[in-house]
Amino acid sequence: MSNKPVDLTSAGDKNDRQAVWEVIRALGKNGTKFTLKDIGKKMQWAAQDNRLFTYLRCLEKGGYLEVVKKPYQENIYTLLIDKGIDAPRLKYDGTKVTQGIGREQMWRTMRILKTFSAKDLSVSASSDDHTVKLAEAKDYCHHLRKAGYLKGGPKEGYVFLVSRYTGPRPPKIQRTKSVFDPNLGKVVWPEAHHE
């Protein structure tokens, strides 16, 4: 996949794994078995497409899929774990990708708290699996305020603007320090246009 900022990648680059996951969930519901060719046909991709095969290996190693391997036959897959609509974010060895988890937790927590300080957000958004550091909460609040999702500031505290909730996926702070909203599929705050 791509190292470019999310807003500069093609729709295919951004959504390959999500698209594959949606097809797997549709094919594998109620324990129905499926093959690589079944997925490829639904997606109109070649079954030997490396992106497809790589993600299936990640899902297998992560315990989401079971594979029946028969000599001289194509692999047959069964969906074991369906975690919902969002594609599991996995490394090649099947372990979870942890990058971005803090922002996902903060985005959910902001909607619940509605008013908070960066410290409140850091504490409330932390879980047993992932601790949100205060510096991360401060940075995220700073950028979301600039992009118009929050009002207030570090001294008086922040207020989450419910009218700016665009969906379940957290806005991303890109390397360019612009804010990309994956729910809208666009940059909502380019740093160059602001202070």
Q: What is the pLDDT of residues 115-147, one digit of tens each?
A: 999 999 999 999 988 899 999 999 999 999 999
Strands 115-116 and 150-153: unpaired
Tell me, yes or no, whether 88 lies in a domain: no
Question: Which residues lie below 8 Å from residue 91, measured CB to CB, with a gap of 6+?
Answer: 58, 97
- 118 occurs within a structural domain: yes
Please check whether residue 84 lies inside any domain of the structure: no
In which element (H, E) is residue 181 found? strand 179-181
Q: For all residues of the chain together, what is the average pLDDT?
A: 86
One domain for residues 23 and 74: yes
Provide the pLDDT for residue 3: 41
Asked if residue 61 has pLDDT above 80, the reply is: yes
Domain count, the chain: 2
Alpha helix (H) residue ranges in 47-172: 50-61, 101-113, 118-125, 134-146
Domain of 70? Answer: 6-79
Put simply, whether the predicted model's pTM sits higher than 0.75 gets the answer no
pLDDT digits (tens, 9 = 90+) for 160-172: 999 999 999 899 9
CA atoms of 73 and 70, how far apart (whole Å): 5
71 located within any domain? yes
Least confident of 8-12, 72-76, 85-89, 142-146: 8-12
pLDDT of residue 69: 78
SS3 65: strand
Q: How many Å apart are CA 29 and CA 171, to the nearest integer? A: 31
Domain membership of residue 136 (yes or no) is yes
Q: Is residue 90 part of a domain?
A: no
